[in-house]
């Protein structure tokens, strides 16, 4: 079992050293896999990736081209709420420099919508080590009915299991540029 801090170090190290081209190809491949997994979903909670993360731009473009409604998170104090986004122009740098919805008076309430979730490291049983702020943990505690889909580079999926806290949410699926991992909690 890996402590989360150790898992985070391994996850960070795993994504280093990739060229911009490798990152782009990985993001395109993962987007195709995830769109296929989502099937007929008409609403998806997603996120705008940071430069070193597996890119979500191709994923968002693919969802929008299929008419899928998307909502992205905006940090508000210690909480994170999702607001509908229809184009990249709806985003602006927010908390910690992360692109987030620039406007929106009311967060969306989309029960059961798949939630594409970032993280620094994942394990094959759905364990996740995030960035340590607890935003996704608090979100899933408030809205537990969303299927959780980890989205990361394949090299961020660790062989050893991550030691989770009681409040941590396991992922239902993990999608990388190379594979889709069913973590034993199929939601389809």
CB 28 within 8 A of CB 59: no
Rg (CA), the chain: 15
Structure tokens at 161: 């299991």
What single string gives the DSSP state of each residue in 87-108?
Answer: SGGGEEE-GGG-EEES--SS--
Question: Was 128 annotated as part of a binding site?
Answer: yes
pLDDT surpasses 70 at 186: no
pLDDT tens digit sequence for 58-111:
999 999 999 999 999 999 999 999 999 999 999 999 877 899 999 878 999 999
pLDDT tens digit sequence for 152-175:
999 999 999 999 988 899 999 999
pLDDT at 185: 52
Question: Was 84 annotated as part of a binding site?
Answer: no
Question: Was 136 annotated as part of a binding site?
Answer: yes
Structure tokens at 122: 């994942």
Question: Was 33 annotated as part of a binding site?
Answer: no
SS3 for 50? coil
Average confidence (pLDDT) over 114-138: 95
| The model scores a pTM over 0.75 | yes
Query: What gap in Å lies between CA 35 and CA 89, rounded to an integer?
Result: 22
Note the residue count of the chain.
188
pLDDT at 2: 93
């Amino acid at each position: 079992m890996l402590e989360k801090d150790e898992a985070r170090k391994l996850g960070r190290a795993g994504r280093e050293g990739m060229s911009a081209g490798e990152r782009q190809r990985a993001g395109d491949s993962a987007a195709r896999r995830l769109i296929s997994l989502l099937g007929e979903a008409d609403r998806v909670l997603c996120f705008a990736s940071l430069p070193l993360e597996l890119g979500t731009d191709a994923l968002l473009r693919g969802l929008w081209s299929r008419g899928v409604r998307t909502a992205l998170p905006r940090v508000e104090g210690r909480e994170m709420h999702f607001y509908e986004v229809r184009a990249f122009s709806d985003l602006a740098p927010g908390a910690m420099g992360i692109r987030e919805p620039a406007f929106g008076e009311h967060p969306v309430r989309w029960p059961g919508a798949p939630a594409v979730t970032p993280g620094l490291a994942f394990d094959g049983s759905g364990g996740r080590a995030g960035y340590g702020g607890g935003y996704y943990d608090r979100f899933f505690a408030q809205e537990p009915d969303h299927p959780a889909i980890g989205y990361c580079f394949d090299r961020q999926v660790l062989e050893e299991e991550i030691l989770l806290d009681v409040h941590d949410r396991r992922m239902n699926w993990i999608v990388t540029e190379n594979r889709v991992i069913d973590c034993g909690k199929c939601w389809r």
